[in-house]
């Protein structure tokens, strides 16, 4: 069942979204050559605590990190640790916070001195596909209109969409109905209604769409080990498209 939020609940999600966005952006500013993913995770933990919030990821289904930090061919769910960031890397920072019972979930990908035109294009296309998906999160549209908008943006650029992992409803829980694939035809699925809150998150690969989960049980890598990019916003469905709650 898709939960339609009241104005009060949406306002509370704006608060959690603002915190998640602030943590995301401040951690992103720290990304650079020589820093480890573990140091980024520790910094995020300090920020989250300072806001009086808690990580929505830590302990979720056993996940051991405060945030997810996924580098290059790591698509999502990278566990912060000893990996050092280098020039030429792209680094996904994925943050989820629980503030007073409401979740904000957001991600961005940082380029670290990247000069490879194909990788720069990958990051730009993923941003564009997220914007397209958010524009389609309009009351009266169908859920798959979001999926279609994302996939078409990606396909036209010659990249591929990850199919095994999807966006999702969000609110008092990290994952609520519905699941939101980043691919599919338009005009399918439930009708979107004002007050639905969604985490829209395209995961886009430079090479093939297939992925593999590593031995740690969490880190997802592209099967061909080519780079992957991830952007995400929590939005509320509105009359003119999705209103971003994590900006």
Specify the CATH number for the domain of residue 143.
3.90.230.10
The band of 136, judged by pLDDT with boundaries at 50, 70 and 90, is very high
- pLDDT, residue 95, reads 98
Give percent above pLDDT 70 in the chain: 100
In this prediction, residues 122-130 reach a mean pLDDT of: 98
Q: What would the mean pLDDT of 29-38 be, rounded to a whole number?
A: 98
Which residue shows structure tokens 């966006």? 167
CB count in 10 Å sphere of residue 195: 17
Confidence of residue 19 (pLDDT cuts 50, 70, 90): very high
Do the Cβ atoms of 242 and 106 come closer than 8 Å?
no
**pTM beyond 0.95, yes or no:** yes
Query: What's the whole-number mean pLDDT along residues 216-236?
Result: 98
What is the number of structural domains in the chain?
A: 1
pLDDT at position 241: 96
Host domain of residue 45: 7-244
- Rounded to 10 deg, the angle between the 143-156 and 117-135 helix axes is 160
Give mean pLDDT, residues 148-160.
98
In a domain? residue 50: yes
Is 1 part of any domain? no
Question: Within 10 Å of residue 4's Cβ, how many Cβ atoms?
Answer: 15
Q: What is the pLDDT of the chain when averaged over all its residues?
A: 98
Residue 91 is assigned to a structural domain of this protein? yes
Instruction: Extract the tokens encoding 43.
Output: 């910094």
- List Cβ neighbours of 10 (8 Å cut-off, separation of 6 or more): 195, 197, 236, 245
Model confidence pLDDT, tens digit, residues 159-203 = 999 999 999 999 999 999 999 999 999 999 999 999 999 999 999
- 165: in domain: yes
Tokens 């939960």, located at residue: 3
Backbone angles phi, psi at 50, to 5 degrees: -65, -25
The gap from C-alpha 143 to its chain's centroid, in whole angstroms, comes to 18
What confidence score (pLDDT) does residue 151 get?
A: 98
177 in a domain, yes or no?
Answer: yes
**Mapped to the 3 state alphabet, what secondary structure does the chain carry?**
CECECCHHHHHHHHHHHHHHHHHHHHHHHHCCCCCEHHHHHHHHHHHHHHCCCEECCCCHHHCCCCCEEEECCEEECCCCCCCECCCCCEEEEEEEEEECCEEEEEEEEEECCCCCHHHHHHHHHHHHHHHHHHHCCECCCEHHHHHHHHHHHHHHCCCEECCCCCEEECCCCCCEEEEECCCCCCCCCCECCCCEEEEECCEEECCCCCEEECCCCCCEEECCCCCEEECEEEEEEECCEEEECCC
Cα distances (angstroms) measured from residue 90 to each of 44, 112, 113, 227: 18, 6, 9, 8
pLDDT number for residue 18: 98
Give the pLDDT of residue 225: 98
In this prediction, residue 138 carries a pLDDT of 98
Is residue 2 situated within a structural domain? no
pLDDT digits (tens, 9 = 90+) for 68-122: 999 999 999 999 999 999 999 999 999 999 999 999 999 999 999 999 999 999 9
Separation of alpha carbons 219 and 49, rounded Å? 25
């Amino acid at each position: 069942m898709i939960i339609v939020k009241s104005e009060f609940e949406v306002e509370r999600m704006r608060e959690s979204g603002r915190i998640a966005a602030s943590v995301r952006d401040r951690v992103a500013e720290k990304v650079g050559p020589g820093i480890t993913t573990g140091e980024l995770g520790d910094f995020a933990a300090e920020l989250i605590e300072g806001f009086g919030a808690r990580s929505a990821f830590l302990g979720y289904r056993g996940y051991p990190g405060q945030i997810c930090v996924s580098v290059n061919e790591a698509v999502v769910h990278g566990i912060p640790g000893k990996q050092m960031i280098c020039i030429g890397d792209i680094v996904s920072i994925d943050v989820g916070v629980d503030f007073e019972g409401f979740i904000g979930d957001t991600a961005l990908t940082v380029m670290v001195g990247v000069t490879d035109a194909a990788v720069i294009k990958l990051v730009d296309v993923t941003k564009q596909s997220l914007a397209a998906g958010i524009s389609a999160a309009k009351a009266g549209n169908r859920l798959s209109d979001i999926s279609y908008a994302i996939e078409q943006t990606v396909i036209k650029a010659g990249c591929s969409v990850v199919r095994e992992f999807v966006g999702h409803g969000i609110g008092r829980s990290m994952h609520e109905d519905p699941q939101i694939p980043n691919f599919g035809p338009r005009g399918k699925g439930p009708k979107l209604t004002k007050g639905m809150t969604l985490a829209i998150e395209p995961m886009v690969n430079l090479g093939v769409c297939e992925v593999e989960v590593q031995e740690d049980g969490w880190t997802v890598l592209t099967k061909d080990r080519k780079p992957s990019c991830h952007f995400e916003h929590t939005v509320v469905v509105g009359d003119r498209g999705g209103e971003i709650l994590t900006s």
